[in-house]
Amino acid sequence: MARRRGSAAQTGVGRGSAGGGTAASGTAASGTAASSTAASEPAASEPAATRSTRRSAGTPASGRTLGDAAGNGDESGGVAVNGGRHEVTVPAARQPDPQTDEAPAVPGPRLVGSVRMERAWPRPAACRVITIANQKGGVGKTTTAVNLAAALAQHGSRVLVIDLDPQGNASTALDVDHPAGTTSIYHVLVEDRPLVGIIRAVDDIPLLYCAPATIDLAGAEIELVPMVAREGRLARALSSYDESQLDYILIDCPPSLGLLTVNALVAAAEVLIPIQCEYYALEGLEQLLRTVDLVKSHLNPGLTLSTILLTMFDGRTRLASQVADEVRSHFGDVVLESIIPRSVRVSEAPSYGQSVMTYDPGSSGAVAYLEAAREMAHRPAPN
């Protein structure tokens, strides 16, 4: 089925209906009754100013609709067209400047695509590599990776999403084509292709990039088994890539604790764990934390559990609040204050090849992810 295009924020188009003229009647001062009807055209003797006033009162302004007023950004997002081929050009690195990063260049917000830009958020001094992992499926790993990346990019950060899930859902949500056989992260892990060769710019959001996954990645774990240092294949690819050109690298993991997830943990400095606000989500958390500790002990001493994000919160149930309270009491400040509620818009957005940040910026899910990304941007990177 072909993917639908559009945005909930763009479906409302202004409509106007011209007010109909009504018959006017009047009587002569002498008492003699006379009737008259409003002419379709003003009388020739009617002053021009009166005709203009009457026209504006009876007919709405025409030409621009609400959709026209919103505007469509034509920012290339770092894509250079050369002979019909799209080449990704990542912007040159720069250090955070309080004078430019903390205040807008011009008064008021500006539009990027269909999303209103606020003032730029703080950018890290060095690129932060964050693995988003949880071996339980359906807790919001891909949704979290895509929407946090979109929110950070909309506020001035250069973000790369590495799709390490064979399902390729993050690539789909970012509208990056990834049919079987496409050069993807599979070729980086198995065939030692350079990472820079597979990175694609995301059309709708400048400063956002994606390293796509294909179904070929499903067989990568078997192919990696006989390889030397198989747990560090992704880390080696990142070490040969110029990370100074980026502010964040978010790695979306599959719902397992296999070699792909281990590769992501070895390559990253931070782990972000999305936890669904239900009882079953807590049962698998212990095994994930044990895996993180094993990777830290044997393969990546610098790995840190930096962030926990509560997702799919249903305020109508007491269980959701109990799970949230229990997670906060156990992990403390690692848990973000922002909680992601259940939202239909969040589920609809991928079918349009968009994140919820561009699909419906005013929805509860988009606002929650925006606040979560804001917290991450203002938190210092762990030492």
With beta carbons less than 8 A apart as the criterion, state whether 320 and 278 touch: yes
Confidence of residue 205 (pLDDT cuts 50, 70, 90): very high
Q: Which residues contact 163 (CB under 8 A, 6 or more apart)?
A: 169, 170, 171, 178, 185, 210, 211, 212, 213, 252
Specify the pLDDT at position 21: 39
Specify the pLDDT at position 118: 56
Over the chain, what is the mean pLDDT?
76
Instruction: Over range 291-297, report the average pLDDT.
Output: 94
Instruction: Over range 189-213, report the average pLDDT.
Output: 94
Instruction: Over range 208-234, report the average pLDDT.
Output: 92
Specify the pLDDT at position 182: 85
* pLDDT reading at 361 higher than 70: yes
With beta carbons less than 8 A apart as the criterion, state whether 199 and 241 touch: no
The type of residue at 358 is T
Specify the pLDDT at position 278: 87
Specify the pLDDT at position 370: 96
With beta carbons less than 8 A apart as the criterion, state whether 110 and 117 touch: yes
pTM over 0.75? The answer is: no
φ/ψ region of 223 (left if φ > 0, alpha if ψ in -120 to 50, else beta) reads alpha
Specify the pLDDT at position 29: 34
d(CA 123, CA 246): 10
Q: What is the DSSP string of 308-325?
A: EEEEEE-TT-HHHHHHHH
Tens digits of residue pLDDT in 117-160: 456 899 999 999 999 999 888 899 999 999 999 999 999 999 99
d(CA 264, CA 255): 12
* pLDDT reading at 16 higher than 50: no
For 87, the enclosing helix (H) or strand (E) is strand 85-88
Domains and CATH numbers, the chain: 121-378 (3.40.50.300)
Instruction: Over range 28-45, report the average pLDDT.
Output: 38
d(CA 114, CA 177): 22
